[in-house]
Amino acid sequence: MSTWDIAAALARQADRVAAAAEAAGRAADDVTLAVATKSVDVARTLETVAAGARVLCESRVQEIVAKAPALEALDAPPQVHLIGPLQSNKINAALRHVTCVETVHTTSLAAALGARCVRDDRTLDVLVQVNVSGEPQKSGVSPDEAVDLALAVAATDGLRLRGLMTIGAHSPVEAEVRAGYARLRTLRDDVLAAGVVSATELSMGMSGDLEWAVAEGATIVRVGTAIVGPRG
């Protein structure tokens, strides 16, 4: 039996977010604390929701499918965001359960998602993933191409562009990490200025750098192990 207290951990991270927002001159409720539940079993995922988590992030479609019956049976099911890669052969499975896909990084993926949504007479919230660090192991469109892709996504029937997403630079240097987050904010502002009024979200920052992300305008931060406890 694990002694990890998810409710207490969630409260600690919520306090961090609130303190970071206050330090940045922002309201705490301007920032959503999303819980990354990758590799977390159904029981602990349900415990996380019971503790107050309203947005869950999953990296694998198969995990979303496995957890969906239990989550969707709740009186108030959480939102489920996909933050991992989405292969075309898993789009149908994902769309049955996710409320947002944060990892749209090509026009072909956007077109495939949009076509399925039109077929199903629904609108899907999406974010465009941008690789602000340029690190080759990370997915995402390059910053130079991000606005054009975002505008194309926004024009795709069946999709609602809600903003941009990134994974920050793998660096302990605050200035380097914050520069990437500031770049994402500037790109988001360019998309808004182009008339996509729904694209207000900035999903950026995790447990190691969420204060820096909030200072640069994050509206969604994604925290995993610090809330759900050690995995495996």
Q: What pLDDT digit, counting tens, does each position of 144-188 carry?
A: 999 999 999 999 999 999 999 999 999 999 999 999 999 999 999
Dihedral (CA of 11, 227, 201, 57) sign: negative
Contacts of 179 (CB under 8 A, 6+ apart): none
Q: Tell me, what's the pLDDT at 24? A: 97
3-state secondary structure of 201: strand
Q: Tell me, what's the pLDDT at 1? A: 44
CB 130 within 8 A of CB 109: no
DSSP β-bridge partners for residue 36: 57
CB 139 within 8 A of CB 133: no
Amino acid type, 121: D
Residue where the block lists tokens 């920050």: 168
Q: What pLDDT digit, counting tens, does each position of 103-139 carry?
A: 999 999 999 999 999 999 999 999 999 999 988 888 9
Burial letters for 64-90: b for 16+ Cβ neighbours within 10 Å, e otherwise?
Answer: beebbeebeeeeebbebbbbbebeeeb
Q: Tell me, what's the pLDDT at 2? A: 62
